[in-house]
């Protein structure tokens, strides 16, 4: 589970003034949320994303920076193609793959990855239902979900976003594009709009 950092924690970690951290948050440069008391909190993964995007050193305390991603597609050749596409990024992404939508839900619950990439057309449980189930679980709120579709359309994009995904990508997916959703705050902000 992501650790939460206060503006003072971040200022000590990055050796900057707490007001600088507050400005980054207020400008939307650093993703954060406010507690009911009005205090800013930043998730560890969002802080790491901010640092990578701004080419700042990532302290050891924030972890390796490797994105953990569960990938789901019922077609084994498609899953193998995705694995091949991510091979050049092995030092940036750790993939766990499955052909089962139900197993995907269990894997996400157990592993708490940074993200889930799922095909919309699945035999036992469609991709949108998996997105809804993952997003309905409070303990999985930090998992970012991307869908993918062979016959990509604006309707699928809308349905995916309404279900809780941050984007719907055309197949075959581009590995770098997927990684950007986790490493670049601008891409995350754009996907949420």
pLDDT digit string (tens) for 117-149?
999 999 889 999 999 999 999 888 888 999 999
Q: Which of 39, 62, 85 marks a domain boundary? A: 62
Quote the CA–CA distance of 182 and 67 in Å, as a whole number. Answer: 7
Contact predicate 114/179, CB 8 Å = no
Same domain, 50 and 96: no
Which residue range is the domain that position 82 belongs to? 67-192
Same domain, 106 and 183: yes
Asked whether the predicted pLDDT for residue 63 surpasses 80, the reply is no
Cis bond before residue 172 (omega within 30° of 0)? yes
Same domain, 72 and 57: no
* 68-115 pLDDT per residue, tens: 899 999 999 999 999 999 998 877 788 999 999 999 999 999 888 889
Asked whether the predicted pLDDT for residue 193 surpasses 90, the reply is no
Same domain, 81 and 166: yes
Same domain, 92 and 24: no
> Residue 184 phi/psi, 5° resolution?
-120, 110
Across the strands, what pairs with 30? none
């Amino acid at each position: 589970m992501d650790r939460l950092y206060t503006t003072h924690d971040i200022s000590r970690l990055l050796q900057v003034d707490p007001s600088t951290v507050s400005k980054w948050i207020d400008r939307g440069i650093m993703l954060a949320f406010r507690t009911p008391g009005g205090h800013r909190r930043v998730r560890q993964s969002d802080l790491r994303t901010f640092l990578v995007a701004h080419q700042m050193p990532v302290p050891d305390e924030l972890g390796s920076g490797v994105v953990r991603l569960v990938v789901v597609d019922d077609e084994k050749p498609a899953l193998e193609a995705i694995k091949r596409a991510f091979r050049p990024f092995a030092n940036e992404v750790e993939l766990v793959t499955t052909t089962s939508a139900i197993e995907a839900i269990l894997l996400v619950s157990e592993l708490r990855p940074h993200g889930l990439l799922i095909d919309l057309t699945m035999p036992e449980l469609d991709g949108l239902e998996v997105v809804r189930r993952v997003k309905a679980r409070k303990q999985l709120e930090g998992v970012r979900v991307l869908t993918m579709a062979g016959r990509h359309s604006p309707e699928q994009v809308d349905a995916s976003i309404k279900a809780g995904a941050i984007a719907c990508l055309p197949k075959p997916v581009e590995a770098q594009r997927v990684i950007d959703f986790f490493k670049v705050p601008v891409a995350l902000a754009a996907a949420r709009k």
